Structure 1
Amino acid sequence: MDSENRTRRRIVVGGALAPFADGLRSELAVQGYAADTVADHVHLLADLSGWLSDRGMVVANLTSVAAREFLAVRRAQGRQRGVTDRALAPILGYLRGLGLVPPPTVPPPTTAVELLLTNYRRYLVRERGLADSTVKHYLRSARVFLAWLPGTVDRSLPQLSAAQVVEFVRDWNASRRSTANDMVTLPSLRSVLRFLHVAGYVPAALAGAVPAGRGQPRNLRRAVRSDHVQAVLAGCDRGSAVGRRDYAIVLMLTRLALRGGEVARLELGDVNWRAGDLTIRGKGGRVDVLPLPADVGAAMADYLLRARPTSPARTLFVTTKAPFTGLAVPTITGLVAAACARAGVSRFGPHRIRHTVACGLLADGASMEEISQLLRHAQQRTTAIYARLDESRLAELALPCPQGAPR
């Protein structure tokens, strides 16, 4: 009973942040946090306010640097809770939303590698228009490659050779524990080599030295069995909020061949219920409008009416735990994997579902152009991987021989 009274007792916040305690309580409650979690955050707010007051600081002094210093002090004191950036994020997010504290800042690069990666990030975003998740993966792979170089980047890159690129790929392949196809490392290596050449770090164009790799060819063995897909759909508990959400997502993947990132980016306003269509934001800023199948629309409506928690997020699908924010791409992949485990079938993800839809269309006699339109490929050469499964379809992609051309 005493512990219950202590939990319910109102926390008194003094100091510079005292005027914002009630607002933080209300904001966290709206976001769906449990009462105990709200109390923990208000306790942390009280500690932060006292720390500011002890140093004669005001709210506007709460910069990213000051926040990191506060957390470092708590860790040095042996505190076990409220010692990470994630723990402090709801408080800082609330105060920044009120315009009271400065926006988060990223420390400037201090090494040659960090400066190079900063320039590479700018290239990926501004020149290539890649999605945030792709940029993250490419930067991680670039960091691994740069760390592999025998010396500092300013000495190694001007002397980089094709033989070294091949040697890195061999070392990377030998160190891999998984036999699954790697969809990131080799493409990202080609990308960073192109950037290094264009930006003048490397004198020679070495992207072509990267081997094609075993992950390049696609064939029917990657297609998911239809009974496995049906088992995964049937295994979603449509009586629960999580099950309704997961069923709508998996069904959308199987019917529209969407990428995981495209599902994560879907917003409430992208669904045109009257016209029966769906706006998809794909790779490279591409926007397409697809017909909304009736069964997918029904699953989405069931989720929105009976399972989606109240949230300020504009994304169609949100997390099931507070704060109710949009889903990240790894979450989409993870929930599909969890659905496979529940159904007792071999694990697969959004990309294999997408591949399965394309293989099914190919088997049903769809043209390469039709498959390309559904998959929303920017170039038909990407769709050509499916033509390899049926040599008779290769003729659809062949250019006509010029007539009367000089020999």
Structure 2
Amino acid sequence: MRNAAAIEAFLEMMSAERGAAANTLSSYRRDLEDAGEAIGGLAHADTAGIRDYLADISARGFAATSQARKLSVLRQFFKFLYAEGLRADDPTGTLDAPRRDRPLPKTMSEAETSRLLDRAAAEAAERPDDASAARMHALVEVLYATGLRVSELVGLPLSVATRDDRFFIVTGKGNKERMVPLSQKARSAMRGWLARRAGSPAFAESPHLFPAASDTGYLPRQVFARDLKALAARAGIASAKISPHVIRHAFASHLLQNGADLRAVQQLLGHADISTTQIYTHVLEERLMRLVNEHHPLADAPS
């Protein structure tokens, strides 16, 4: 079967049976035609030819994610040819996908985090009639104390704060509940916000912990992210490096740096799989190296 005919047959199958969108089909076509041009006879390519092609696109500077996407298209193409009896084998069966290095999460130092929280507390104290200052103080304290996802945080119902101020019961991904403890500072900030909230006619009757005049009835996460950057700038921290997700990462990193167990951090973050939490293993490695260097009897003494 000629290359062009094989590609057309594959794309027709992807459209008819898989419902692939026009943009997806165009992307598949480009990837297969690029591979066919490089290999010189895609429909009849062998494993060595495909491996050479993957090495070539790597040398051309394609990112690992792009390489993995191209290999995925080739796998689907040759699986189709095999299933249709157009080939007696699948030459991609023994090929490994390019390794994708996961970037380390952005985070903040403990000193920067303290500066941010102190600024939020100072503004809430300086502006006792400003509900937004009390709300921001509560938001950042709770976020750093619990590591909640921003969507979990802004969407909290009022009921979580009226049961027991020592912890929140949060419903996360997959409707799974988890318990997250609050620090003393977070509890204090929450009490300040609840008092301010109760005195506001616009907020007092809302079922949401952080109500707002929005379609959902609670503070949009984009608004919180914008206000957080403004708070960071006022605290002397580059706003470009701050986001709610960065504070979530700071929560996890600082816990691990100070001796927390990876499994405990997994539970607090609401990760279903420990592999997701393992992006923080670099923090554990640094801590273990420090422990060995400081406490092992055979460690090098400082010069």
Q: Give the structure-1-normalised TM-score.
A: 0.45
Look up the match of 1:242.
132
Distance 1:217 1:311, change over 3 A: same
Percent sequence identity is: 25
Q: Which residue, out of 230, 244, 248, partners 2:114?
A: 230
Q: Are residue 326 (structure 1) and residue 218 (structure 2) matched? A: yes
Look up the match of 2:236.
344
Q: Are residue 260 (structure 1) and residue 144 (structure 2) matched? A: no
Q: Which residue, out of 198, 203, 208, partners 1:315?
A: 208
Distance 1:361 1:313, change over 3 A: same
Conserved 8 A contact 2:165-2:187: no
Look up the match of 1:212.
100
Distance 2:262 2:214 in 1: 44
* Matches for 1:17-32 after TM superposition, within 5 Å: none
> How far off is 1:275 after superposition?
6.5
The SS at the match of 1:278 is strand
Aligned length: 232
Distance 1:211 1:227, change over 3 A: same
> Unpaired segments of 5 or more residues in structure 1?
1-110, 118-142, 174-185, 395-407
Distance 2:26 2:115 in 1: 44
> How far off is 1:374 after superposition?
2.4
Distance 1:244 1:148 in 2: 51
Distance 1:323 1:149, change over 3 A: closer
Q: Which residue, out of 156, 162, 184, partners 1:294?
A: 184
* Matches for 1:364-383 after TM superposition, within 5 Å: 364-383=258-277
Conserved 8 A contact 2:214-2:220: no
* Matches for 1:91-240 after TM superposition, within 5 Å: 116=20, 146=24, 149=27, 209=97, 212-213=100-101, 216-218=102-104, 222-236=106-120, 237-238=123-124, 239=127, 240=130
Distance 1:225 1:378 in 2: 27
Distance 1:289 1:390, change over 3 A: closer
Q: Are residue 251 (structure 1) and residue 135 (structure 2) matched? A: no
Look up the match of 2:293.
none
Greater length-normalized contact order (CA 8 Å, ≥ 6 residues apart): 2
Distance 2:132 2:80 in 1: 49
Distance 1:390 1:304, change over 3 A: closer
Equivalent position amino acid for 1:283 in 2: K
Distance 2:285 2:227 in 1: 36
Q: Are residue 357 (structure 1) and residue 251 (structure 2) matched? A: yes
The SS at the match of 1:315 is coil
Aligned CA-pair RMSD: 4.7
> How far off is 1:298 after superposition?
2.6
Q: Give the structure-2-normalised TM-score.
A: 0.58
The SS at the match of 1:224 is coil
> Unpaired segments of 5 or more residues in structure 2?
1-14, 34-41, 43-49, 84-91, 289-303
The SS at the match of 1:316 is coil
